Amino acid sequence: MGKNGNREYLEKRSLKNTVFKGTGGAEKTEETEKRIINTESIEYFKRVLIRNEKSIQTIEKYIRDIKKLMIYAHGRSISKEMFLEYKEYLEKCGRYRISSINSYLAAANHFCEVMGWMDIRVKMIKVQRAVFIPENKEITMNEYEKLVKTAYKKGDDRLALIIETLGSTGIRISELRYITVESLKYGMADIHNKGKARRILYPGELLKLLKEYVRKKHITHGSIFVTSSGNPVNRTI
């Protein structure tokens, strides 16, 4: 074992003997609590990253991401079940892109590896990248254009834009809720369906129309297409 390896081994031994405090303030020893994320374990993780010659930016990001998990855990022991709950929370809260979620999970997995918690790592979210042409498989292009023109002619801009969005991206009506104001900033949207996720890219013309629509309708956040009660359009338009 080299000098650095021996030092890392001794530090990990020392860390395991540290007394951890739970959220209630009660002391928990190694026998009762082995997988708490706290300042000591984060500092140890940071030292390992430094020894592995990670860049300053990488180290800072890893530490930020681990602190995010620490806040979520709120003093609880890190288990596979809790890690999966954390992953689900990141997916469903609607605040993060898939790439960001995978970045958080990668940092947490690396932290677990360093701590020797190999059994609680989780898988990344698979991303199916897809770009669709503006043509619906079930109707002809002429029929598609006629539907759009008819909607605009009747003054139903919302319906017209929904049809254009469906035709230009290939998504389903039930997936319209993922077309959000926030996604327009990136020119793409992450679609979650049946436990899988895929990324769709907005064609330039559609992106322009969507931005104009939200500006005109004063929609500042969340799903762009909603019902009269304010809920995202789901099954019927």
Please name the residue that has the structure tokens 């064609």.
203
| 173: CB partners within 8 A, 6+ apart | 162, 166, 233, 234, 235, 236, 237
One-letter amino acid of 142 = N
- The pLDDT of residue 28 is 39
Pairing of strands 196-201, 188-193: antiparallel
3-class DSSP state of 128: strand
Q: Are 140 and 125 in contact (CB under 8 A)?
A: no
- Nearest Cα to 40, choosing from 64, 57, 21, 65? 21
- The pLDDT of residue 112 is 93
The rounded distance, in Å, linking the Cα atoms of 103 and 124 is 9
Question: What are 169's two structure tokens?
Answer: 């991206």
Helical spans, DSSP H, in 93-228: 98-115, 141-153, 157-169, 181-184, 204-217
Angle formed at CA 69 by CA 63 and CA 73, multiple of 5 degrees? 140
- The pLDDT of residue 7 is 55
Question: What are 30's two structure tokens?
Answer: 């190694």
Full set of structural domains in the chain with CATH: 39-115 (1.10.150), 135-217 (1.10.443.10)
Strand partners, 94: none
- The pLDDT of residue 128 is 52
- Series of mean pLDDT values for 10-residue runs along the chain (237 residues): 53 49 38 73 94 91 94 92 92 78 92 92 72 49 84 90 90 91 91 84 91 93 87 71
3-class DSSP state of 32: coil
| 142: CB partners within 8 A, 6+ apart | none
3-class DSSP state of 20: strand
- The pLDDT of residue 67 is 95
